[in-house]
Amino acid sequence: MRILMVTEDLPHPAPGGLARHVLTLGQALQQAGHHVDYLGNGCSPTAWLLSRLSPGQQLYTLLGSPPRGWKERSTGAFNPYRRPYTARRYAQAVVAIADNYDVVHYHGHFPNIAHYLPSHINFVQTRHDQGSDCLMQIRFRNGAVCTETAPEACAECAVDGPNSLQRCVSAWAVRRFRREVVSAFRRHKVIFVSESIRRSWLRCAGPGEWGAVVHNFIDYGQVQAAQEQPPAIARRSRYNVFIAAKLYQPKGVGALLECLQGRLPSDMQLVIAGEGMQMSELQARYAGDTVTFLGWLDYPELLARCAGADLVVVPSLLEESCATTILEALALGRPTLALARGGTPELQCYARYPGQLLLFDAMQDLADRLITYRECHTRTDWPDFCGDVAAGIPRILEIYRTVPE
């Protein structure tokens, strides 16, 4: 098949998880004998990205500059025209070259793009977050998971204490966006990366045959290579606990550190990789002999750190859709602690051994278990991982070839 992968997250100087997912899938499809090209934004491609392309592969930059905020912050309201405008612009870029491909696969932040695409295009999109109905994409507000479905309630995320006009405009934007997404999902095929985010969509859209569920996946070959890095697997005198997360409230690092303050044993070292708006605050308050902040790490080093850890913790307060951080830890055989939220419980099927993924209802319970955990799992000769991208290819190809009713 001739396949066009589309994402506005590439090119990017520091590609995130979604961008890596697109490249992982694209490379696996290419290796399986298909031809894969990419459609991305108008930024200049990095040397890293170009090195991931095979001879003959194209990188189109027709999506243009990354979308701006349309003054939503200064007006205190979501703009009803912002997301439709961007989705229409992206759709026009897809239409310009879609006839050269058997299927177009979109991974991005504008699910309403399919509302603007003609029905004859074989178009599939993967939903990686809760942005199908939540304009903030994560359904998290005031320090807790948000379960509101009324468009008027969404105005609280545009500004604290919205006035009546701001609430009206934001509700209009949410209603218009959701109507377009409903239309998009009815016109073209959709994949959700977990049953959890599919259920979240049902809260707003109502019951129906809303797409298929295909879990996230990883490049197991790249994960295996991380185990061969000597600095990462060298044994230490202290029990090494590793966290990789964006340092802002929804990811829960601050909440976990608060629960652990003054309680971490002297023979335990908590190492945190990542950056974000809370980094300076958390460093000032918690950095010390038992807590170390590494800042941003590139992906190979991140994997190496994970491989060398005794224990991995994913303390997200938000409902993770299908955390690749957990998949990587499980593939590496690392015991992992997380909250039982979102799509995380669905990942138990990828555990290498009983008890590898331990889930908790509350952060305090997770913290209590962390400080007493001392199990060591040094095995590295694991067999193939069922969460590898190669395992997901047959199902994705099946969806590509399915003709919508």
Domains 2-217+388-401 and 220-372 share a fold: yes
CATH 3.90.1070.10 fits 220-372, yes or no: no
Average the pLDDT over 14-28 and give the result: 92
Q: What is the pLDDT of residue 376?
A: 85
Q: What is the pLDDT of residue 5?
A: 98
Q: What is the pLDDT of residue 208?
A: 86
Q: What is the pLDDT of residue 237?
A: 79
pLDDT category of residue 379 using cuts at 50, 70 and 90: confident
Name residues whose C-beta falls within 8 Å of residue 132's C-beta, 6 or more positions apart in sequence: 111, 181, 185, 197, 200, 201, 204
Residue with the bigger pLDDT between 226 and 280: it is 280
Query: Residue 123 in 3-state DSSP?
Result: strand
Length of the chain, in residues: 405
Give the pLDDT confidence of 222-245 residue by residue, as tens digits: 998 887 765 544 456 799 999 999
Mean pLDDT of the chain: 94
Above 90 in pLDDT, residue 405? no
Average the pLDDT over 268-275 and give the result: 97
Q: What is the pLDDT of residue 232?
A: 45
Above 50 in pLDDT, residue 186? yes
Peptide bond into 66 cis (omega under 30): no
CA dihedral 346, 149, 192, 110 (to 10 degrees): -140
User: Which pair of tokens denotes residue 62?
Assistant: 């027709």
Sequence spans of domains, the chain: 2-217+388-401, 220-372
Map tokens 């969460």 to a residue. Answer: 387
Stated as kind and residue range, the H or E segment containing 233 is helix 230-233
Give the pLDDT confidence of 213-228 residue by residue, as tens digits: 999 999 999 998 887 7
* Amino acid letter, residue 132: S
Query: Please, are residues 6 and 107 in contact by the beta-carbon 8 Å criterion?
Result: yes
Question: What's the whole-model pTM score?
Answer: 0.94
Average the pLDDT over 177-182 and give the result: 98
User: Which pair of tokens denotes residue 298?
Assistant: 């590139």
Strand partners, 273: 244, 295
Query: Please, are residues 316 and 341 in contact by the beta-carbon 8 Å criterion?
Result: yes
Give the pLDDT confidence of 61-115 residue by residue, as tens digits: 999 987 788 999 999 999 999 999 999 999 999 999 999 999 999 999 999 999 9
Q: What is the pLDDT of residue 144?
A: 96
Average the pLDDT over 177-199 and give the result: 97
Class for the domain spanning 2-217+388-401 = alpha beta
For the chain, report the end-to-end CA distance as a whole number of angstroms. 21
